Chain A
Amino acid sequence: MKKEIWMVVILVLVATVSSGVLGFVNVTTRPIIKRNEVRKLRESVLESVNVQFEADNLVNKFESEFRAEELGGKDIYFRYDDEGNLTGVTFEISGSGFQGPITAIISLKPDLETIVGLEILDHQETPGLGARITDEDFLRQFNGKIVRPEILVVTDAGDEENKVDAITGATRTSKAIQGIINDTLSEVQTNILTDKVMERFSHE
């Protein structure tokens, strides 16, 4: 009998100490972790519209350039010019890559078809092959391309306005990017954004 009680006591003790320590560390590190994530997101959003920023003016820059709004459970960042006209829409897109999920930031013109910029937030693709989706050379290709009827990532893109060159040796990852852009875009266009953007166009 004494043995059983001792067993329970030990387990409870160890568990209490453990959760106490973890709770404390969690409280201390959570703000830092959160700040890291927000920072990364804001950097990517700014990079996707090619706005220069310094590490110390990131927050100001971001807040002066974008107005965040939650629509249909999705954070959407709207960008206006000095007269208050809508000049761009930025949001997060995600889907499965070749090795794991890929999340990216895409910026569009208010027509919701012309790509202003693309930035990869997170991915698990093969280093040296699929991971080259984060290369500037690959991402810059998307600038100015038009998603109509859909974007195509192909071996020999030429100058066509809806095609970009795939990464040699990483066809699957390239196709994954193509799929993520097309799928998310059509969903966001039809379900969340079109009405909203149209509304703003006519009002402002």
Chain B
Amino acid sequence: MNNTKDIFTAGLWEDNPVFRQMLGLCITLAITNKVANGLTMGVAVFFVLTASSFIVSLLGDSVPRRVRIPVFMLVIATFVTLVYMFLRAFFMPLSQALGAYVGLIITNCVILGRLESFSSENTPWDSVVDAAGVASGFGLALIAMSVVRELLGFGSLFGVQVLGSGWTPWVSMILAPGGFLVLGLLIWVQRAISPVEEG
């Protein structure tokens, strides 16, 4: 795994954290009922993941194996708290819409998973590329889901009415069932485009 492009596209598509690895589903299901929320969460995860990947890969071998998880958690928590305070200070409405989920990025297994399996054993450059790929894949999934859900659920995109004022909102799309249905359907689509190799 030395080719930069391969590392990036693996995270973005073939090993997409949501559609393939089924990680970080809690956030994915909870906040994707509006595109603005999905995008903000995508950007927040992108920042946290790339930044903590970079730091962890710099630390590299100097972290003893037995304390690596606490160290990872500290690094992640630092960046998540940064994002949290930043959003509350400058994007109050968005921060209210995302509620507790910004704080819960700390427990997002996409992030810990990448640190554990990739960044701690690779060069800073590769780690950042990998993190950017995976985070983009995560953001792609969030945005894809929230586009479908906001479009059907509100008839709008980014809060702008695009399907006309006569659109009947599909309420279940905004609620949890819509999250599960759309996630299932998108996984179906993703796997139809590039089928999983059996075995």
Contacts and interface: CB of A to CB of B under 8 A. Distances in A.
Given A7-B64, A124-B99, A36 B89 contact: yes
B81 interface: yes
Interface string A18-35: 100110011001001100
A129 B171 CA distance: 8
Given A21-B82, A122-B96, A32 B64 contact: no
SS class, residues of chain A in contact with chain B: helix
A51 B72 CA distance: 51
A32 B89 contact: yes
Interface in A125-163: 126-129
B179 to A, nearest CB: 12
Given A18-B75, A18-B77, A22-B78, A10 B63 contact: yes
B97 to A, nearest CB: 9
A74 interface: no
Contacts, number: 65
Could you say which of B71, B89, B169 has the most chain A C-beta atoms within 10 Å of its C-beta?
A: B89
A1 interface: no
A108 to B, nearest CB: 26
Given A6-B64, A36-B88, A127 B154 contact: yes
A55 B85 CA distance: 23
Given A14-B74, A21-B78, A127 B67 contact: no
Contact of B34 (A18, A122, A127): A127
Given A18-B74, A36-B89, A128 B171 contact: yes
Contacts of A10: 59, 62-64, 67, 71
Interface in B20-60: 33-34, 59
B169 A36 contact: no
A169 interface: yes
A101 to B, nearest CB: 11
B92 interface: yes
A32 B85 CA distance: 10
27 contacts: A6-B64, A7-B64, A7-B66, A10-B63, A11-B67, A11-B71, A14-B74, A14-B75, A18-B74, A22-B78, A22-B81, A22-B82, A25-B86, A32-B89, A33-B85, A33-B88, A40-B92, A122-B96, A126-B171, A126-B174, A126-B175, A127-B33, A127-B34, A128-B154, A128-B169, A129-B174, A169-B171
